[in-house]
Amino acid sequence: MSSSSSHEIVLTSSPDGPIIAYDASSGALLAHFTGTQTPRQGLTLVGNNILIAASHISSATASGSIHLYNWWSSTVFHHLPLPEPVAPLIASLDGFYLFAGGLSGNIHVLSLPSASGNELKAFPAHHSPVSCLKISDDGSLLISGGDDGTIVVIPISQLIGASSSTDENTSNFILHRFVAHADSVTAITCGIGLCNSTIIISCSLDCTCKFWNLLLGTHLRTVEFPCTVFGVALDPTESEFYVAGSEGFIYKGTMKVESKQLVSQGLQLVKWAQKHGGAIMSLVMMNEGQNLISAAEDGSVWVWETVTGQVIMALQNEMVSISHMVVATGRGARMGGSGSNESTGNWGLGLSGTGRELSLQVKQTQEMEDMLTVVAKDRSKAIDMLESAIEMYERLLELILKEAKKGTSNGGE
């Protein structure tokens, strides 16, 4: 693997234990982030990799929340409570909003910085639990999949600007809602540039991947597999796609096929030889498409060479199970799609003194933490000012009433 990938950090989550960070070039374990039990799809990066966000479901109370981490501390620095357990989690490209998919079918919207869950909005997107979330590459659309097999496409600007979270007219700003699969939608990815008839690829427990025109919401193509599918990744050139099989194999397919007969016969698919010991839960492209990384339910994390389809490295992993995986790069987080092999100099991901903790844009992260504190103080100050204003108006009203009574009394004399 190219040495350029040394600037990529792999993060895996688990329903049973900590979030673990690895050096993508050496496979070495870099850090643990403790205190979170993360369900599937419940890990994301916020604000150009400034923060780590993870869905958490309490084993004691089954309550849901989101935990925020910075890169130099292994413990949760901020806790955002939610009214229900959530699983899929994703952040807007600017890092100002978090979207979480709930068991009720609602998508919860949180504004960052936020000192509490008071900034929460809930949008009824599905009639069953939200199973996956994706943001279009231009950052304008939120795409969600549900256990009911539906896909919903929502303009983020309208979702954020909605005055109410449960009004009946919320469906008015949905761009598309359609039944995509016969079973739960497990993952969604999409191409680049909405103006070029961008496609989205969805995969499902119904053993299919389907291709859709994002703008029109129309079906383009179906590819069938011999097993359920949990993840899909698209290479940077959008010429090939990779699918995570529940039996532990990776399947490679071409975006363009010569004939419908090849599609129906499944001859456009290549099954890579090496097999994980459990279902593959997540796939991410790295190193500008030269490498693919896979994380499986059995805790194995492998780096592949895409040209040969061979495993070139196994990451050291201490977890028995993995629920999700993301990769931090110099150009931001990628949960499927292209990585970066350039050292752009706009961030620093490196080891601190002991080699067990990471440092990433320390100043920016500290600023966000400070903003969270300021928000809480500003709210308290605003309440105090409001109480003072009310007290002042009450006194003023008393004076007015006294003057009015005097005037009435004098007039009677």
Instruction: Report, as an integer, the average pLDDT of 289-293.
Output: 93
Beta bridge partners of 197: none
d(CA 386, CA 393): 11
**348 against 186, higher pLDDT:** 186
Q: If we measure between CA atoms, which residue out of 128, 161, 127, 131 comes closest to residue 143?
A: 131
d(CA 27, CA 10): 9
Q: Are the C-beta atoms of residues 101 and 128 closer than 8 Å to each other?
A: no
Residue 360: pLDDT band by 50, 70, 90 thresholds?
very low
- Which residues contact residue 408 at a Cβ distance below 8 angstroms, ignoring those fewer than 6 apart? none
Residue 340: pLDDT band by 50, 70, 90 thresholds?
very low
CATH superfamily for domain 3-360: YVTN repeat-like/Quinoprotein amine dehydrogenase (2.130.10.10)
d(CA 121, CA 91): 15
Average pLDDT, the chain: 80
CA distances from 182 to 147, 153, 203, 207, 210 (A): 9, 18, 11, 9, 12
Instruction: Report, as an integer, the average pLDDT of 269-288.
Output: 93
Instruction: Report, as an integer, the average pLDDT of 283-303.
Output: 93
Q: If we measure between CA atoms, which residue out of 8, 25, 27 comes closest to residue 318?
A: 27
Beta bridge partners of 78: 68
Percentage, residues of the chain above pLDDT 70: 74
Residues 126-162 pLDDT 10s: 999 999 999 998 899 999 999 999 999 999 998 887 7
* Token duo for residue 118: 């008071």
Residue 381 has pLDDT above 90, yes or no: no
Return the minimum-mean-pLDDT range out of 149-153, 175-179, 228-232, 327-331: 327-331
Pairing of strands 240-245, 229-234: antiparallel
Q: Are the C-beta atoms of residues 296 and 245 closer than 8 Å to each other?
A: no
* Token duo for residue 13: 């989550």
CA distances from 336 to 63, 207, 238, 264, 271 (A): 29, 19, 12, 26, 19
* Token duo for residue 214: 């994002």
Residue 42 has pLDDT above 80, yes or no: yes
What local confidence, expressed as pLDDT, does residue 411 receive?
Answer: 61
d(CA 19, CA 37): 9
* Token duo for residue 61: 């109370």
Residue 352: pLDDT band by 50, 70, 90 thresholds?
very low
**378 against 281, higher pLDDT:** 281
Residue 65 has pLDDT above 50, yes or no: yes
Name the residue with tokens 């009310």. 390
**201 against 381, higher pLDDT:** 201
Q: pTM for the complete prediction?
A: 0.77
- Which residues contact residue 272 at a Cβ distance below 8 angstroms, ignoring those fewer than 6 apart? 249, 250, 251, 252, 304, 309, 310
DSSP state of 133: E
Residue 344 has pLDDT above 50, yes or no: no
Residue 116 has pLDDT above 80, yes or no: no
d(CA 340, CA 285): 9
Residue 359: pLDDT band by 50, 70, 90 thresholds?
very low
Domain ranges of the chain: 3-360
The DSSP-derived string for 65-94 is EEEEE-TT-SS-SEEEE-SS-EEEEEE-TT
Instruction: Report, as an integer, the average pLDDT of 337-357.
Output: 35
d(CA 244, CA 354): 35
Instruction: Report, as an integer, the average pLDDT of 285-291.
Output: 91
